[in-house]
């Protein structure tokens, strides 16, 4: 047996350590460890409720809009105004969240994950006239490979022409991300950490000039997704068919749904959403989702025993070095079982629900590859689902922005109750995101955020069942333990965000430790 230790995993958001035991080329066991210390949830205690959407955005610079959206949904619920959000209010929230989905998804595939499959050094031989490739060639000729290192060697399978095409799209994707950020700033004031999303709706209404500026940028992005991204994912899948065979995980999937289409009245799981809520069981059956079945375990986390349970009741009490602990992430469970969340989970739930846009897009991609739907439950299936979801969201946003009504209300009035509880549940780029708040004396008494990567990268639970990412790594084939491409490809397919996943601070706000991770 041989133990592989990757610490830190690069090209992700935050700090993650992965260990795997390999026997005869197969991973027998795996452990994922969140090593980053945070403190956002405890910082919120005692603060004014309206601080929550601003502070929770600082959980992550990649997906702050998701936290602003879900935090505001949480306060809508606590303030009793969920049914009063104006049409402009929830449309603009959807557009802001959609712009953040686009920039995050583009970032993940092209700038974080694609380098596991694309050899950018192939551009050194480029002899054409594409300005993006010429600039990248000059960059490489000068030996300035820092952004592309460290990297593993030995399993790049694309042809020279395919490598060069995807390298050009790597550069184009930088401009696409800029456009998406600009879209966010048009309606949200700035990006990252938008000022636009608040309880009741948004801070500023639409104008004709804002709609026009948003739409032309969106159309540029749609062209890139349709002409480049979807085809690039299919190209990678054709060259790496073995990665459609492994990296499955627990086989259970969970989606809160995302992008409200109508009134926000009623429980989150019963609202009409562009991507529906639901979950898939191990046998592929579609099932309803009950938020009361969600708990978090700390059996193998560095938190004190007794601080786990439902998010409405749990606390955050650190216990560094706890016997049996190996991660600062908790272990979310639905009805006691681990569930994968993310674009793949959302697409599978929507596909099983028979949503026409999703079934058409998924069937088209599968047909192009000549494979069945079961291949989606894999390492490359996650990348395919992410690209297709981004395509569907971008197309829908073109309709949403034209439905805005300049001059009409965009935010509901509210009063802050002295005592209340609230929950907000929706989707972030990386998966199901939930915020829970308890208000006492007009102040935040307790706040909990259960985030996507906690679901995916959390450690074993009290029953010693591994988390989804640990299960996805277990059983894969590693051809060369000295160059564990396969392990890193599985991990990055989840697009982990450790910054979102770990929330820790001493009661007095003191540092527990300072680390420089190279």
pLDDT value for 316: 76
With contact defined as beta carbons under 8 Å apart, do 500 and 452 qualify?
yes
The contacts of residue 473 (CB under 8 Å, 6+ apart) are 18, 20, 27, 30, 32, 247, 487, 490, 491
pLDDT digits (tens, 9 = 90+) for 6-51: 999 988 888 899 999 999 999 999 999 998 766 677 789 999 999 9
* Confidence (pLDDT) at 86: 96
Supply the pLDDT for residue 61: 78
The per-residue pLDDT for 37 is 62
Instruction: Give the model's pLDDT for residue 508.
Output: 44
What does the alpha-carbon distance between residue 446 and residue 78 come to, in Å, rounded to a whole number? 13
Token output for 263: 């009134």
The one-character DSSP state at 147 is: G
Contact between 497 and 67 under an 8 Å Cβ cutoff? The reply is: no
pLDDT of residue 475: 97
Residue 507: band (very low, low, confident or very high) from pLDDT cuts 50, 70, 90: very low
pLDDT at site 517: 34
Could you read off the pLDDT of 353-369 as tens digits, one per residue? Answer: 999 999 999 999 999 99
- Domain extents in the chain: 37-470
Partners of 443 in beta bridges: 440
Three-class SS state of 352: helix
Determine the pLDDT at residue 516. 39
Residue 502, pLDDT score: 57
Q: Give 436-481 pLDDT, tens digit per residue.
A: 999 999 999 999 999 999 999 999 999 999 999 999 999 999 999 9
pLDDT band at 497 (very low <50, low <70, confident <90, very high): confident
CA-to-CA dists, residue 311 to 126, 427, 503, angstroms: 54, 17, 14
Least confident of 268-282, 298-312, 343-357, 415-429: 298-312
Distance CA 326, CA 322 (A): 8
Q: What is the pLDDT of residue 15?
A: 86
- CA pair distance 358, 468, nearest whole angstrom: 24
Number of H helices, E strands in the chain: 15, 15
Q: Is the pLDDT higher at 154 or at 123?
A: 123
Element (H, E) at 425: strand 419-428
CATH dotted code for 37-470: 1.10.645.10
pLDDT-wise least confident of 213-217, 308-312, 472-476: 308-312
Q: Which of 209-223, 271-285, 305-319 has the highest mean pLDDT?
A: 209-223
Q: How many CB atoms lie within 10 A of CB 485?
A: 20
Average per-residue pLDDT in the chain?
91
Instruction: For residue range 146-155, list pLDDT tens digits in order.
Output: 767 667 888 9
% residues pLDDT > 70 (the chain): 95
Count of alpha carbons within 13 angstroms of residue 473, beta-carbon side: 29
Residue 302: count of CB within 10 angstroms of its CB: 24
Residue 19: strand pairing partners: 5, 31
Evaluate the CA torsion angle 78, 82, 85, 90 in order and state its sign.
Answer: positive
Lookup result for tokens 């230790």 = 5
pLDDT of 423 over the 80 cut: yes
pLDDT digits (tens, 9 = 90+) for 125-170: 899 999 989 988 988 888 777 767 667 888 999 999 999 999 999 9
Nearest Cα to 509, choosing from 34, 14, 37, 16?
37
The label of the residue with tokens 């380098």 reads 115
pLDDT band at 515 (very low <50, low <70, confident <90, very high): very low
């Amino acid at each position: 047996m041989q133990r592989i230790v990757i610490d830190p995993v690069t090209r992700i958001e935050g700090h993650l350590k992965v260990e795997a035991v390999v026997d005869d080329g197969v991973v027998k066991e795996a452990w994922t460890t969140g090593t980053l210390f945070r403190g956002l949830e405890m910082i919120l205690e005692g603060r004014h409720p309206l601080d929550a959407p601003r502070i929770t955005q600082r959980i992550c610079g990649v997906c702050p809009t998701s936290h602003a959206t879900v935090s505001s949904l949480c306060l809508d619920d606590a303030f009793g105004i969920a049914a009063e959000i104006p049409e402009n209010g929830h449309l603009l929230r959807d557009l802001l969240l959609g712009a953040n989905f686009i920039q995050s998804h583009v970032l993940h595939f092209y700038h974080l994950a694609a380098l596991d499959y694309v050899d950018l050094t192939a551009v050194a031989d480029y002899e054409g006239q594409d300005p993006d490739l010429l600039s990248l060639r000059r960059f490489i000729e000068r030996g300035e490979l820092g952004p592309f290192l460290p990297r593993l060697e030995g399993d790049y399978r694309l042809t020279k022409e395919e490598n060069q095409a995807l390298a050009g799209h790597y550069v184009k994707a930088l401009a696409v991300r800029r456009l998406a950020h600009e879209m966010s700033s048009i309606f949200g004031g700035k990006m990252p950490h938008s000022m636009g999303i608040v309880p009741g709706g948004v801070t500023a209404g639409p104008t004709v000039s804002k709609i026009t500026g948003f739409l032309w940028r969106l159309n540029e992005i749609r062209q890139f997704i349709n002409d480049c991204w979807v085809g690039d994912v299919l190209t990678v899948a054709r060259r790496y068919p073995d990665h459609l065979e492994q990296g499955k995980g627990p086989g259970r999937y969970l989606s809160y749904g995302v992008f409200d289409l109508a009134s926000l009245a009623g429980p989150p799981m019963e609202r009409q959403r562009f991507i529906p809520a639901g979950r898939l069981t191990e046998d592929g059956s579609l099932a309803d989702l009950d938020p009361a079945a969600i708990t978090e375990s700390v059996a193998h986390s560095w938190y004190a025993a007794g601080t786990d349970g439902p998010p409405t009741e749990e606390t955050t009490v650190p216990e560094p070095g706890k016997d049996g602990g190996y991660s600062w992430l908790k272990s979310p469970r639905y009805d006691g079982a681990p569930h994968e969340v993310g674009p793949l989970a959302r697409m599978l739930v929507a596909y099983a629900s028979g949503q026409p846009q999703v079934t058409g897009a998924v069937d088209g991609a599968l047909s192009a590859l000549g494979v069945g739907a079961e291949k989606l439950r894999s390492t490359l299936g996650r990348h395919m689902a992410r690209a297709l979801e981004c395509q569907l969201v971008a197309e829908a946003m073109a309709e949403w922005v034209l439905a805005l009504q300049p001059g009409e209300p965009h935010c509901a009035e509210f009063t802050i109750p002295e005592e209340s509880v609230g929950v907000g549940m929706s989707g972030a780029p990386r998966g199901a995101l939930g915020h829970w708040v308890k208000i006492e004396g007009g102040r935040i008494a307790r706040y909990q955020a259960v985030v996507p990567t906690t679901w995916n990268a959390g450690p074993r639970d009290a029953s010693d069942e591994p988390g989804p990412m640990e299960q996805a790594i277990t059983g894969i084939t590693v051809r060369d333990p000295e160059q564990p491409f396969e392990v890193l490809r599985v991990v990055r397919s989840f697009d982990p965000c450790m910054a979102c996943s770990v929330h820790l601070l001493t009661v007095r706000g003191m540092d527990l430790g300072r680390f420089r991770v190279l």
